[in-house]
Structure 1
Amino acid sequence: MSRRLFRTPLTWVAVAVIGIGAAFGLYWFQPWKVVTDRQVDERLSGVEDAAPTGSAPAAPPAVLPRATPATSPTATRPVLVSRGEFVSHEHDTSGTARIVRTADGRHRLELVGLDTSNGPDLRVWLSDQPVRTGRAGWHVFDDGRRAELGRLKGNRGDQAYAVPAGTDLAELTSVTIWCQRFAVSFGAASLVPTG
């Protein structure tokens, strides 16, 4: 009886559909990433990264610079423009995000000591949305203006991303590790001006 069952075309169609569904599920969810990490240890700028003192965050300056190359030949060392600590959203996330103006006048985002979960299709975004804690912050970053800096290089370690010239850093005041596939933030940080 069982041999006859496996000879019917309907059985083979069912087996094929189950196999295709399983393959798609593995591709879509990539469950092995839950137990694997990707460590990145890029060289970061040598700026001092002191946390803001006092209980209140520093007041933002009237205008933050746009991400454009410097025209002054006096720019000789990197300068810390803004920084913030990550808060967890969909996944536990910690580390520091900072915007640094490099010696040549360009801007870059540096993720220092990042520790989050690995996941499918993770991106690094600058956003104009405020960072909210808890579930209220999970889905807000695709609602407003944003600049994608690229795919997340690794879920752990130090890494840097070039900020495109012309990016308005006065408007884009937060950074998120964004899962494009599921439209959710793994974690985010408010970028508070340092000077």
Structure 2
Amino acid sequence: MHRKSMTKRLICAALLLSAPLSQADAAEVLRRGTFKGVGGHKSSGSVEIVKDGDVLKVVFKADFVLKDAPDPKLAWGKNGYRKDTIFGKLEKLKGEQEYVIPAGTDVSAFNEFWLWCQRFNVGLAVAKLD
């Protein structure tokens, strides 16, 4: 009886631990783009806008690189940068990373994702979203 109880507990624990992985795998890619540097700045790599359950996220892929940026912020654009859309700070200049998009943001209203230097008020990189 003790052995069956232990087996049931182990199975339950395994199911609980695997649940977040299953949810992460279920993320739906809504839009994709590739960064290009602007104004002499250098950037490359992929970005995706994903829906993970009820949460929208910006996901930078492993190939992402931004060179030499003092104050990079995350923002949206429609045929150009929109200064009222900054919603966070870029934490790393390269590699995989994710940022939660603020609730209520209509990502379909934009066709670009921007990296913007707020300190100097200049664009660093833009990804056209498909």
With normalisation by structure 1, the TM-score equals 0.50
* Equivalent pair of 1:80/1:99 in contact (CA under 8 Å): yes
Q: State the match for 2:94 in structure 1.
A: 156
Deviating 4+ runs (over 4 angstroms): none
* Equivalent pair of 1:145/1:172 in contact (CA under 8 Å): no
Report the CA distance between 1:177 and its aligned residue.
1.0
Letter in 2 for 1:81: L
Report the CA distance between 1:148 and its aligned residue.
1.9
Letter in 2 for 1:155: L
Structure 2: runs of 5 or more not aligned: 1-23
Q: What are the equivalent positions in structure 2 for 1:121-140 lying under 5 Å apart?
A: 121-128=71-78, 130=79, 140=80
CA distance in 2, matches of 1:184, 1:109: 21
Over alpha carbons, which structure has the higher Rg?
1
Question: Structure 1 residues 177 and 145 mapped into 2: Cα distance closer, same or farther (>3 Å)?
Answer: closer
* Pick aligned residue for 1:78 from 15, 27, 47: 27
* Equivalent pair of 1:123/1:179 in contact (CA under 8 Å): yes
Structure 1: runs of 5 or more not aligned: 1-44, 47-76, 131-139
Higher strand share: 2
* Equivalent pair of 2:44/2:65 in contact (CA under 8 Å): yes
Q: What are the equivalent positions in structure 2 for 1:1-195 lying under 5 Å apart?
A: 46=25, 77-90=26-39, 91-102=41-52, 104-112=53-61, 113-128=63-78, 130=79, 140-141=80-81, 144=82, 146-192=84-130
Deviation per residue, 1:100-122 (Å, 9 max, x gap): 000x2211011112111132211
* Equivalent pair of 2:75/2:114 in contact (CA under 8 Å): yes
CA distance in 1, matches of 2:36, 2:71: 20
